[in-house]
Amino acid sequence: MKLKNNLRTETGWEIIENSFDPDQLVTTGSNFMIGNGYLGYRGTFEEWEAREYVACVVTDTWDQAEGSQWSELCNVPNGLFTQLFVDNDMFSAFSGKTEDYYRALDLRHGLNQRKLTWRSPKGKKVALEVEKFASLVNHHLISMSYRFKALHKGRYRLLTGIDGKVWSINGEHFKSYTPIQEENLIGFNLKTSESGSQVVVCEGLKINGGHVLESEVIEDSRRILREFVFELEADEEIHIHKLVSVTHANEVKNPKEVALAEVEEGLKQGHDRLKKAHQSQWDDFWTVSDIRISGNEEAQVLARFNLYQAFIATPRHANLPIGARGLSCQVYQGAAFWDQETFNLKMFIYTHPEIARRLVTYRHDTLDGARRKAKNLGYYGAFYAWTSGKTGDELFPDYFFTDVLTGRKIRNHFNCWQIHISPDVVYGIWSYYEATGDWDFMLNHGAEVLFEVSQFLVSRVHFKKDKNRYELIRLLGPDEYHENVDNNAYTNYLSRYALQKAVIVYREITRRAPERMEELERLTGISENSPETWKEIADLIYIPEADTKTGVIEQFDGYFQLEDVRPDQVRKRLIDPGEYWGWPNGVAIATQVLKQADVIQLLALMGGFPEKVLTANYEYYEPRTEHGSSLSPSVHALVAVKAGHHEEAYRYFLEAATIDLYNASKKVLSGGSFLGGIHTAAAGGVWLIIVEGFAGFQVTEEGIRFKPALPESWNSLAFSLKVKNCLLDIQLNPSSITVKSTAQNGDNIKIFVDDEVALLQPGQTAIL
């Protein structure tokens, strides 16, 4: 079926591009990318270079380029670089004539494919067929099959190797490029700029067909290439298998040896055998993760596209963060934000809890960084980094945006006032624990985080004696247009939540594992009085309640006193369209206009609010929200469902699901900063909208609950969930829900739908 722009899908399992649009270079490079949670390789063309935003971004390679303000992941040299010359005309989408163009992203198996016929400026035709994938079997490897057929006799020259002149947005990340030439393999042995850590990109190839006239290795300062010249007859075909390994010393001991050995071994297997094993892993992924929608093919392929992007962005091989742009580019430093817990984690908790465990364990691994941040700012406990990389130290710079009107840098306070990140981490840990019951994790990892976050809150709250309440002062909520506010509803609710969970866990460990509690007390410096303090704060922290008349919760103290205008009116006050709307003097700060609505976010995360409150708040905040954040549509979709605004919910679902694919994200540049790439949280949000929104899935103490609100155009919706030791297959249609507990499950589980309840034994199916 035809999708928007020049896109289509055939089976609901792929995105196909019908024509090449040079204006969409940045976007399609992201959308057609391949990856495996270790590396991301943008869906660019093999003959492209830095100016076309080619990138291979690798996890755990944080490096601060000289003169840059922050560290980010390295974009390593491009091992797939391949240029084809037909009688000295370089094959290019920008010259000659391209026919039968086809570019596809195979979502089921993580394959990027391109097929076309090209007529050179001199009139010679060649047919090209390329396929590549980032292996799920061995995450270091990218395999490419590059096939071309001479449609006219001629001299064909291939320049292929490793291009180190890459797109690096904040400066050079390698201080040395040592070429490798061993046997038939070439590569670069690189040292990162800041720490001198080793990164290796190594490439090998096998050529089938034709006859190589000449062959030589060409090196320049940041390139190592091989040149092959063929004299081909018409219809003669060349098939190249190119295999690249990217390794680094933060992951393997001998990056060079490992990379060389892997490429050598992989070349022996060949593209097709490697691909088969890779596909099998993808099949395993989809067995649990697929969401099947019937009745709406577009929704079907959008769901899969977003699941795919969320999955390839997420490290499975180590306890590492999900970057806010995944591995699609260097923006946002390949680092975790609060999105990880609030937008991405749940999909993994309920489909691949082993990945979710890595993500929550990552927060435990980085506890020391959070401790250092708290201490640096005059607090104690754990204040998690707004932008969290390897160590958990704050990566977010004091000065991020630029005032485009004056050129002066802006001191935004994301790193020091957006304290909700710490309770958000607790939210993630508790959500994981609630769904999995993973006591071992809680005991050995989670609890320490919970306790340290509570201690941080102890150091952060202020007590108002005359009001007998605790307050949180000088905050920045998720709505980043309003810095320096007090008692932000989202932050205060989440902080209470975090303190309450810490009290529960403290009691549980004291009861079940007193010796571990002793150790935890040593590690965190808490004492048996601490949980009393946490409880006192949880009991007395000021919680802005829904107004008894209107049902609306005030976003922060004094919010209702701000100018009550709408985003379009405020937009007209911009002097420059690229202005940042927020701190210190942007157009939104003195108004009720929001970047994203904190209260809506709160309602999306927290249960227990009556529908009346959901509706009142949705209707109040939605028109005041600018949706300046890519996080905004999915959270609005989610709450719109709960608030009974089904049409709007679906509109926001589509917006969230197409932010990247249809390039609906308005802003690539904001306040002078490039913010492009895959919006990973929006991708995670699509799972939330479908499962928590349209299916109304919710975990309760006793079991799980559904409150379905299937979109009108959907005949049925099916997905699987792992929860409370059960793998469940769920199928919804407009009149019923079918839940199947798979035979292998260990426990019974209770399913609630409205007033109905079914107790499901392993192997049983219930229709409600």
Q: Which is nearer to its own copies, 251 or 579 (CB)?
A: 579
Give the footprint of its own copies on residues 487-546 (CB under 8 A): 533
The answer to whether 517 and 509 are in contact (CB under 8 A) is: yes
Instruction: Provide CB contacts within 8 A for 129, sequence distance 6+.
Output: 113, 114, 115, 145, 147, 148
70 is in an annotated binding site: no
The residue from 7, 240, 429, 458 that contacts its own copies (CB under 8 A) is 458
Residue 558, interface with its own copies (CB under 8 A)? yes
Tokens 């590549």 sit on residue: 132
The answer to whether 682 and 631 are in contact (CB under 8 A) is: yes
The residue from 39, 589, 656, 678 that contacts its own copies (CB under 8 A) is 589
Other Cβ atoms closer than 10 A to 719: 24
d(CA 509, CA 424): 22
Only segment of 105-113, 456-464, 594-602, 758-766 that touches its own copies (CB under 8 A): 456-464
Give the footprint of its own copies on residues 464-483 (CB under 8 A): 464-466, 471, 473-474
The residue from 254, 585, 700, 715 that contacts its own copies (CB under 8 A) is 585
The residue from 513, 590, 718, 768 that contacts its own copies (CB under 8 A) is 590
Residue 2, interface with its own copies (CB under 8 A)? no
The residue from 332, 583, 694, 697 that contacts its own copies (CB under 8 A) is 583
The answer to whether 692 and 346 are in contact (CB under 8 A) is: yes
Give the footprint of its own copies on residues 368-387 (CB under 8 A): 378
SS3 state at 598: helix
Q: Report the greatest alpha carbon distance in the chain.
A: 91
Q: Which is nearer to its own copies, 406 or 744 (CB)?
A: 406
The residue from 391, 459, 698, 733 that contacts its own copies (CB under 8 A) is 459
CA distance readout (Å), 6 to 17, 299, 662, 686: 6, 17, 10, 22
The residue from 410, 421, 643, 682 that contacts its own copies (CB under 8 A) is 410
The residue from 575, 701, 735, 746 that contacts its own copies (CB under 8 A) is 575
The residue from 221, 406, 548, 744 that contacts its own copies (CB under 8 A) is 406
339 is in an annotated binding site: yes
By CB under 8 A, how many residues form the interface with its own copies?
28
Only segment of 51-59, 191-199, 578-586, 651-659 that touches its own copies (CB under 8 A): 578-586
Task: Provide the 8-state DSSP code for 604.
Answer: H
- Minimum distance between the CB of residue 414 and its own copies, rounded to whole angstroms? 16
Q: Which is nearer to its own copies, 542 or 694 (CB)?
A: 542
Edge-to-edge strand ranges of the sheet holding 34-35 = 34-35, 39-41, 56-58
d(CA 350, CA 348): 5
Only segment of 126-134, 242-250, 406-414, 499-507 that touches its own copies (CB under 8 A): 406-414
Burial 295-307 (b: 16+ CB within 10 A, else e): bbbbbbbbbbbbb
Residue 146's DSSP bridge partners are 130, 240
Burial 458-488 (b: 16+ CB within 10 A, else e): bebbeeeeeeebbbbeebbbbbbbbbebbbb
SS3 state at 355: helix
Residue 462, interface with its own copies (CB under 8 A)? yes
d(CA 288, CA 272): 25
Q: Which is nearer to its own copies, 265 or 398 (CB)?
A: 398
The answer to whether 128 and 54 are in contact (CB under 8 A) is: no
Q: Which is nearer to its own copies, 578 or 584 (CB)?
A: 584
Element holding 652 (H helix, E strand): helix 646-658
- Minimum distance between the CB of residue 88 and its own copies, rounded to whole angstroms? 52
Residue 557, interface with its own copies (CB under 8 A)? yes
The answer to whether 630 and 593 are in contact (CB under 8 A) is: no
Q: Which is nearer to its own copies, 459 or 748 (CB)?
A: 459
Give which of 140, 221, 224 is closest to 174, Cα–Cα: 221
Strands 749-753 and 704-706: parallel
Catalytic residues: 480
687 is in an annotated binding site: no
Residue 178, interface with its own copies (CB under 8 A)? no
d(CA 657, CA 633): 9
- Minimum distance between the CB of residue 549 and its own copies, rounded to whole angstroms? 20
Residue 403, interface with its own copies (CB under 8 A)? yes
d(CA 599, CA 606): 10
- Minimum distance between the CB of residue 379 and its own copies, rounded to whole angstroms? 10
417 is in an annotated binding site: no
Q: Which is nearer to its own copies, 340 or 592 (CB)?
A: 592
Which residues contact its own copies by CB under 8 A? 378, 403, 405-408, 410-411, 458-459, 462-466, 471, 473-474, 484, 533, 557-558, 575, 583-585, 589-590
- Binding-site residues for substrate: 338-339, 595-596
Binding residues: 338-339, 595-596
